Amino acid sequence: MPANPPLNPLLHPAEGLTILDRLWYIIPWVHTCARDKCMATKPDPKKSRVSIKDIARAAGVSHSTVSRALRNSPLVNPETAAYIRQLAQEMGYIPNVIAQSLVTQRTYTIGVIVTSISDPFIDRIVEGIEDLATREGYSVFLCSSHADPGREIAVVESFHRRRVDGMIVIASRVGSLYTERLQELQVPIVLINNQAEGEYIYSVSVDDESGALAGVQHLLDLGHRRIGYVGCHFRPPSNRRRLEGYRQALRRAGLPYLSDLVVHPRTFSDIENGRQALDQLVAAGATGVLCYNDRTAIGLMTRAREQGVRIPDDVSVVGFDDIEASWYVSPALTTLRQPRFEMGHAAAEMLLALLAGEEVSDRVFPCQLVVRESTTPPGDRRT
């Protein structure tokens, strides 16, 4: 990691006349003459992609001059530079990033590893990463691990072969084990919501504990006294922290921790877990429930509908994440919002800072209580 990072050529392409280039789809014939010229200059039919050398030949200069001109080097005559740039433009030259990468040793790519792209929680994070990365001239490789640690490290190696400048792993199953290997990898890795045990240096996460605490506090404020928690057994660290927030809230309120009110279904589907939790919680007399995440809450709600348990009249429900669906299910879900897009942004920011040789420190985002329709004061139906 160089202390003084080079300019990203993808951000500062400097070919000139790019506005025209962007309009090819409106006036596709603008380049016709230029293409003919190119063909005349270089009649090889197989390899018609124009390189820096072709331009050099056409311009009657050396390829190094072309190289310089194209990257706006001050060490070249402004006039020849302009001519070269125009020529490049006309000939339809498109720089070969592969070749650039080989010599500069930077690819301006980052690898992003997710458990699943179609997870409504993750997609916004990816969007945040992609947004910042693109803006900074980086491209992102996306690969899913399907929550399999073996896959995860296989992907890391695959990214490594591609010489990505850095990686971001969402909900990593390997997590802190990267630390040991990091120096060997020589590639910075930032973790978002790490789901493996242990601490990891570069990470972005959400404040699970105070989030859960705020959720339970909300139920307490409404007057609930028998509050349940539906956990997630396959995301141990965040589940532990959310459970801790739950306990903390009860403790503060002087309420006992009742194990009947805490359930950890064993399926690997959030929705199914929610569905399975309902009956036990109702039996235990819960009037309010904090769920590990929105999908769990939604699953619980679908089951409630089938069972004739009314939400929120019979039991109030609080989710976690604030996925899009949470506000258009019926009743709309009260939840703890994770600023996912911002978290993606932050992770990308941290990675780029790392690449620029800067010091970085972990970021923990607070979550925000969003009150909707799924929570009300407890009814007196139970008597």
- Between 81 and 113, CB nearer to DNA: 81
99 binds DNA (CB under 7 A): yes
103 binds DNA (CB under 7 A): yes
For 126, the token pair is 């990816």
237 binds a copy of itself (CB under 8 A): no
104 binds DNA (CB under 7 A): yes
From the list a copy of itself, DNA, none, pick the one residue 299 interacts with, judged by a Cβ distance below 5 to 8 Å according to partner type.
Answer: a copy of itself
For 242, the token pair is 């959310």
Between CA 359 and CA 309 the distance in angstroms is: 53
Between CA 321 and CA 337 the distance in angstroms is: 5
Complete DSSP assignment for 268-289: S-HHHHHHHHHHHHHHTT-SEE
Q: Which residues, in sequence order, are CB contacts of 55 under 8 Å at separation 6+?
A: 63, 66, 84, 87, 88, 91, 93
**Nearest one of 167, 177, 31 to 91, comparing CA atoms:** 31
From the list DNA, a copy of itself, none, pick the one residue 302 interacts with, judged by a Cβ distance below 5 to 8 Å according to partner type.
Answer: a copy of itself
Binding part of the chain for DNA, among 75-83, 247-255, 329-337, 349-357 by CB under 7 A, reads 75-83
Q: Which residues, in sequence order, are CB contacts of 306 under 8 Å at separation 6+?
A: none
68 binds DNA (CB under 7 A): yes
The least CB distance from residue 122 to a copy of itself, in Å, is: 9
Helix residue ranges per DSSP H, 12-137: 18-22, 32-41, 52-59, 63-70, 78-90, 97-104, 122-135
Taking CB under 8 A as the rule, which mask of x and - marks residues 89-108 in contact with a copy of itself? ---x-xxxxxx-xx----x-
- For residue 6, the 8-state DSSP code is P
**Residues in region 145-174 near a copy of itself by CB under 8 A:** 149-150, 153-154, 157-163, 174
Compute the Cα dihedral for 63, 68, 71, 72 and give only its sign.
Answer: negative
From the list a copy of itself, DNA, none, pick the one residue 130 interacts with, judged by a Cβ distance below 5 to 8 Å according to partner type.
Answer: a copy of itself
134 binds a copy of itself (CB under 8 A): yes
Instruction: Report helix angle 52-59 to 32-41, nearest 10.
Output: 90
Q: Do 159 and 189 form a contact (C-beta atoms < 8 A)?
A: no
For 367, the token pair is 């979550």
**Residues in region 7-66 near a copy of itself by CB under 8 A:** 10, 21-22, 24-25, 28, 31, 35, 48-49
76 binds DNA (CB under 7 A): yes
179 binds DNA (CB under 7 A): no
For 90, the token pair is 């006309």
The least CB distance from residue 329 to a copy of itself, in Å, is: 6
From the list DNA, a copy of itself, none, pick the one residue 118 interacts with, judged by a Cβ distance below 5 to 8 Å according to partner type.
Answer: a copy of itself
- Between 34 and 286, CB nearer to DNA: 34
Write out the residues near a copy of itself by the rule CB under 8 A: 10, 21-22, 24-25, 28, 31, 35, 48-49, 92, 94-99, 101-102, 107, 109, 116-118, 120, 123-124, 126-127, 130, 134, 139-144, 149-150, 153-154, 157-163, 174, 177, 180-181, 184, 186, 271, 298-299, 301-302, 305, 324-325, 328-330
